[in-house]
A and B are shown apart, each in its own frame.
Chain A
Amino acid sequence: MMLDTSDPALWQNTVVMQAGVRPGSDLGDAVQRRAKVMALTQSAEVAVITPKDPGGWSHDLRAALACRIARINRKEDLAAYYRAKITDPAADACSDPDYTGDTPHDIAVLSFTDRVAARPKDAGTKDIDALKAAGVSDADIVRLAELNAFLAYQLRLIDGLSLLQGAAR
């Protein structure tokens, strides 16, 4: 894996930019001391949003689901970042949390996405069984869960760093 821990890459990291961390600030210095973690975080975003092998979930749909999850978490700036990556209008429909799907397949996928994002403790066998019944393969179930789980991490990392940045002002 190519890991870019350089300064330019750090300040263009999605998390660092979204949280408004400034170079030269105390928080900027603290984040710089975790440059490897930040670079790996950016690599993880690539792995879940634009993987070489996307399986059953296109890059467009992945960006739309990321946008949906950011909206569920009321993070409009991150939602806009992901929405700008969507080129397919059909995928864009899924970026709206009010859209719950028109086909049994889409209903299962979006219902799984919403529950895992917002109420993971309530997610269980029934949600996995619903995906299987809709024809989603085991590999695609794992890919869908990883996308969702990564977003939970990225959103909270942005939240925490934003709070620290705000507290420094």
Chain B
Amino acid sequence: MTDVIHKFTKTVPHWRPRVTPVVLAEATPEQLAALQVTPSNTKVSDYVLVLAHDVETLAVRSPLFNAIMYDKGGLSRAERELGAIGASIVNRCVYCAAVHASRHAQLEKSDAVTDAILAAGETVKLDPRNQAILDFSIRLSRTPSEAGPDDIAALRAAGLTDDEVVDLVLSAALFGWANRLMHVLGEPVRKAG
């Protein structure tokens, strides 16, 4: 279809599912619990309604996602977003790349780094710390993973502690998961109007 977006963009697209989302009015109590639907929160995205087809996994995935991206300590939130972006570039998840580039830009109060990544992709040139983080995320995201001892040495040379590298491994790996759902079960399309 002609409205599908194939190029990376910082404008967050609309996500169109390829399978039918669960109908909220027909959701089971277990699905409602995993969807975190309450009387004051009835807005659920099509993406999460698609994932509600596998409610046991969704119930674990949401708290795991939040813990990896937002729990205190370790790697900064913006640098966790870079791990997510690296995976999304390799897996060509246009939707995930746009969402997490936006979050990175908000956290950093600058879109300089993410604009450069979205424009140049894997060959982008960044400052040493961002470069080491992005390069590791990209290499870990290949199949099989191409990350090696040199990448760990580069992260340490850029000043990352073990705690920070563990968080980077987690965020990049998590997007190996997220990309395979978002990019496979649906597609990014231009927002109507």
Contact = CB atoms under 8 A, between A and B. Distances in A.
A23 interface: no
A138 interface: yes
Contact of B64 (A40, A75, A152): A40
Interface stretch (A86-94, A103-111, A124-132): A124-132
Interface string A136-169: 0011011101101110111111011101101110
Interface string B119-163: 000000000000000000000110111011101110010000111
Given A41-B64, A164-B165, A53 B56 contact: yes
Interface string B170-185: 1011101111110111
Contacts of B67: 36-37, 40
B90 interface: yes
A72 interface: yes
A153 B56 contact: no
Given A40-B67, A128-B18, A138-B19, A145 B185 contact: yes
B169 A123 contact: no
B145 A44 contact: no
A64 interface: no
Interface residues of B, number: 58
A18 B14 CA distance: 39
Interface of A: 1, 26-27, 30-31, 33-34, 36-37, 40-41, 43-44, 47-48, 51-53, 55, 72-75, 116-121, 123-125, 127-128, 138-139, 141-143, 145-146, 148-150, 152-157, 159-161, 163-164, 166-168
Given A44-B61, A142-B50, A154-B173, 17 more contacts: A33-B73, A36-B67, A43-B64, A116-B184, A117-B143, A121-B93, A123-B183, A124-B187, A146-B51, A146-B54, A149-B177, A150-B57, A153-B173, A155-B176, A156-B169, A159-B147, A164-B165
